[in-house]
Amino acid sequence: MINFTILIAETVVCYIWRDGKWKLYLLDGEENTHLSKGGAYVMQQIKQQLHNPADLRQIDIVLLFSKTGQNALPDFFKAASSHGFGQVQALALAPLTQRTQVARQTIDAVSDTAWCLECLLPLLDAMLQSRLDLLSDAQREQTYAHEKNIEQLQERLRRLKVENAALQARADALQAAPMEHLVTFLPLFFRNFWEKIRPDELAHLAGKLSFPTIPSPCPDLSPEVIRQLKVKFKTLPGSAQGKIIGMVEQLRNIQKQDIRVEMLDFLEKRNDG
C-alpha cells in the first residue's frame, strides 16, 4: 500500500510513505509548489512519477490543509477522483501543529521539512492508527453482536423445528389409521381379536362411519400368517405403525385384551422412543 500526505497552505508539500517511513516527495523536481498551480497539477505529478501507476485505487491520500489552503480542497478531491486514486481524506493542519511538542506556525510548518518528518507526520500516523483501532473495535463488537444474533436465530429455528415436529406428531396421532390397516394388523397384536370386539365397535373407536364385514366365526391367525404380517408391518412407514400401535394401546386399556408375546417388542420400542 502506497500512502501520500499532502500539506496544503500557500505552498503545497507532498510526502510519501515508503520503506517504513515518511519521505519528502518532489513535485517536478521541487520540494514544494505554489498553491496556485492547483490540485490537478499536484495529482498529475504524483501519478507521473510513480513507477507503477496502473492501479491508483491502492493509493490513499491524506490532505492536511491550513486555513489558506481550505478553499482548494474541492480541486484536490476532484483531481484525485478523476485520476482514480483510492481513499482521500482531509484533516485540518492547525490542530495537529498545536498538539506537537515543538510548536510551529502553520505557514512555517509546511515549509519545515525536518519538523514535518520528525514531529507532524508521526503524530498524524498515531492519530490515524487510533481511529483505525476504534473502528476495528466497533467492527468487532458489531461482528460479535451479529454472530450472537445469528446464534439466537438458529436456536429459535431449532426450537421451532422441534415444536413443529411435535405438532405434526400430534396431528398424525389425531388422524386414525385407515380401516384396512386396522382390520389387517390388529389381529396381529391380539389373539382371537374378532371374538372380543365387533366390527361396528372398532369403527366407532376409530372414528369411521362405515365398518368392515368380518365373517363369523373368524378363526385366529396361523403362525405362518403372523410371520408374514410381522414382516409386512415392519415395512410400513413409522407414522402408519404409530397409528396402529396407538389403537392397540387404546384397545388394550379399554378392553384389557392380551397382546401376543411376539408383538410386545413393538409397543416397548414405541414407549422407549
More confident residue, 55 or 69: 69
**167 lies in some domain:** no
More confident residue, 25 or 119: 25
| 119 and 198, same domain (yes or no) | no
pLDDT digit string, tens, across residues 101-150: 554 544 455 667 888 888 888 888 888 777 666 665 556 667 656 667 78
Q: What is the pTM (predicted TM-score) of this model?
A: 0.45
| 192 and 88, same domain (yes or no) | no
Which residue, 132, 167, 197, sits at the end of a domain? 132
Instruction: Grade residue 225 by pLDDT with cuts at 50, 70 and 90.
Output: very high
Q: Is pLDDT of 238 > 80?
A: yes
**109 lies in some domain:** yes
> What range does the domain containing 51 cover?
2-132
- Kindly give the pairing relationship between strand 33-34 and strand 11-18: antiparallel
Instruction: Grade residue 78 by pLDDT with cuts at 50, 70 and 90.
Output: very high
For residue 64, the 8-state DSSP code is E
Specify the number of domains making up the chain. Answer: 2
**11 lies in some domain:** yes
Separation of CA 224 from chain center:
58
Burial 188-211 (b: 16+ CB within 10 A, else e): bbbeebbeebebeebbebbeeeeb
Which pLDDT value is given to residue 107?
45
Contact (CB, 8 A) for 12 and 34: yes
Instruction: Grade residue 74 by pLDDT with cuts at 50, 70 and 90.
Output: very high
Which pLDDT value is given to residue 163?
80
